[in-house]
């Protein structure tokens, strides 16, 4: 039985060092929030199952191969109707990223509650769910809510708000349903907090999430660290300074994946969050969502440095 179950859509990634308006050369890799997190959780030492559907196409083969190469248990990566999803990401002169999705009607958008029933959700020690998965289709939203109900208090939920996939109102509706089942919710500040909780203040955001019923909340604030709040405790955990910054794609997913792996292996929430922050800082050193993956040993080394 896997320690960690992650449900979502792995994507083929085409990334360019130039803006999408004129980029001509793209590097092909494999990413998507669920795959980024699964790879991070596996490298951090957990037995991870990625629950998804990919197309019966060449990219579906390569996504499954890539996951297997990273130690992910692929038994729940089903093949079926619809294409494998993809996204294109370019740099822009200000250093932010522009995404274009090629995923509507994809195989993964057909995930639904019955897929959750044939996955080891109840047996796993931790289940990582994301607002991106919920935003893919109505059946995906139902799958996320069903998984949260089935996982009974072992859920880590990353709201991961994407304005190109959903609206603040719909994303909030999912958060309201999942938060009461969540051991930990991971809103980013300011993107998730402003869209879903109407604030750019990390402390206010954490209180609002606790009010929705989450057992604990880790508000991620990039280089400003993490504001952690649980029913009995409030604390600030600093970020680990990155030694190399190439690209921030997937840093939040590395955070969620590594921390979920640590929680599943019995770490406290504080220790899990610190490990996730270390993994996120290492992830900044690679292009794309899976260009640089922190191993358990690297995470421990950063933690030992303070």
CB of 243 to ligand KDG, least distance (A): 21
Cβ atoms within 10 A of the Cβ of 238, count? 12
Under the binding rule (CB under 6 A), the answer on residue 255 touching ligand KDG is no
Under the binding rule (CB under 6 A), the answer on residue 253 touching ligand KDG is yes
Which CB, 143 or 210, lies closer to ligand KDG? 143
Which CB, 223 or 297, lies closer to ligand KDG? 223
Q: What are phi and psi of 52, to 5 degrees?
A: -165, 180
By CB under 6 A, which span of 50-58, 64-72, 106-114, 248-256 interacts with ligand KDG? Answer: 248-256
Under the binding rule (CB under 6 A), the answer on residue 289 touching ligand KDG is yes
> What's the gap between Cα 151 and its chain centre?
17
Residue 239, C-beta contacts closer than 8 angstroms, at least 6 positions apart: 221, 222, 223, 224, 225, 226, 277, 280, 281
By CB under 6 A, which span of 32-40, 225-233, 239-247, 274-282 interacts with ligand KDG? Answer: 32-40
Which CB, 2 or 256, lies closer to ligand KDG? 256
Under the binding rule (CB under 6 A), the answer on residue 131 touching ligand KDG is no
**Which of 195, 228, 231 lies closest to 212, judged by CA?**
231
Which CB, 229 or 293, lies closer to ligand KDG? 293
Give me the residue label for tokens 């990919």: 54
Under the binding rule (CB under 6 A), the answer on residue 31 touching ligand KDG is yes
**Binding residue (CB under 6 A) for ligand KDG from 62, 79, 162, 177:** 162
CB of 37 to ligand KDG, least distance (A): 9
Helix (H) or strand (E) holding 43: helix 33-43
**Binding residue (CB under 6 A) for ligand KDG from 5, 6, 32, 119:** 32
Give me the residue label for tokens 């019966």: 56
Residue 258 β-bridge partners: none
Under the binding rule (CB under 6 A), the answer on residue 249 touching ligand KDG is yes
By CB under 6 A, which span of 60-68, 104-112, 250-258, 269-277 interacts with ligand KDG? Answer: 250-258
Distance of alpha carbon 262 from alpha carbon 54, whole angstroms: 28
CB of 39 to ligand KDG, least distance (A): 11
Under the binding rule (CB under 6 A), the answer on residue 15 touching ligand KDG is no
Distance of alpha carbon 220 from alpha carbon 171, whole angstroms: 18
Under the binding rule (CB under 6 A), the answer on residue 36 touching ligand KDG is yes
Distance of alpha carbon 116 from alpha carbon 262, whole angstroms: 23
By CB under 6 A, which span of 15-23, 30-38, 59-67, 266-274 interacts with ligand KDG? Answer: 30-38
CB of 253 to ligand KDG, least distance (A): 5
Under the binding rule (CB under 6 A), the answer on residue 87 touching ligand KDG is yes
Q: First-to-last CA distance in the chain? A: 34
Quick one: DSSP state of residue 1? -
Under the binding rule (CB under 6 A), the answer on residue 192 touching ligand KDG is no
Which CB, 98 or 303, lies closer to ligand KDG? 98
Q: State whether the Cα torsion 79-67-266-155 is positive or negative.
A: negative
Residue 240, C-beta contacts closer than 8 angstroms, at least 6 positions apart: 277, 278, 281, 302
Residue 220 β-bridge partners: 188, 226
Contacting positions for ligand KDG (CB under 6 A): 11, 31-33, 36, 87, 99, 132, 162, 249-250, 252-253, 289
């Amino acid at each position: 039985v896997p320690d960690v179950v992650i449900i979502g859509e792995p994507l083929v990634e085409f990334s360019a060092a130039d803006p999408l308006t004129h980029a001509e050369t793209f590097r092909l890799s494999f990413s998507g929030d669920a795959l980024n997190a699964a790879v991070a959780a596996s490298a951090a030492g957990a037995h991870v199952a990625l629950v998804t559907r990919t197309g019966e196409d060449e990219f579906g083969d390569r996504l499954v191969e890539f996951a297997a190469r990273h130690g992910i248990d692929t038994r729940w990566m089903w093949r079926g109707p619809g294409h494998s999803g993809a996204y294109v990401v370019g740099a822009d002169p200000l250093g932010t990223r522009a995404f274009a999705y090629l995923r509507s009607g994809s195989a993964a958008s057909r995930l639904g509650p019955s897929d959750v029933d044939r996955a080891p959700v109840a047996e796993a020690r931790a289940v990582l769910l994301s607002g991106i998965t919920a935003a893919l289709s109505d059946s995906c939203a139902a799958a996320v809510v069903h998984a949260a109900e089935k996982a009974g208090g072992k859920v880590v939920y990353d709201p991961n708000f994407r304005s190109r996939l959903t609206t603040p109102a719909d994303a909030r509706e999912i958060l309201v349903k999942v938060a009461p089942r969540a051991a930990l919710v991971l809103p980013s500040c300011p993107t998730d907090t402003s869209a879903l909780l109407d604030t750019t203040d990390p402390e206010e955001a954490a209180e609002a999430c606790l009010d929705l019923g989450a057992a604990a909340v880790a508000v991620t604030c990039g280089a400003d660290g993490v504001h952690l709040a649980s029913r009995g405790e409030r604390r600030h955990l600093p970020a680990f300074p990155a030694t190399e910054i190439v690209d921030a794609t997937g840093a939040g997913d590395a955070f969620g994946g590594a921390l979920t792996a640590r929680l599943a292996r019995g770490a406290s929430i504080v220790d899990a969050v610190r490990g996730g922050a270390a993994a996120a800082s290492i992830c900044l050193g690679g292009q794309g969502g899976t260009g640089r993956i922190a191993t358990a040993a690297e995470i421990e080394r950063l933690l030992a440095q303070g």
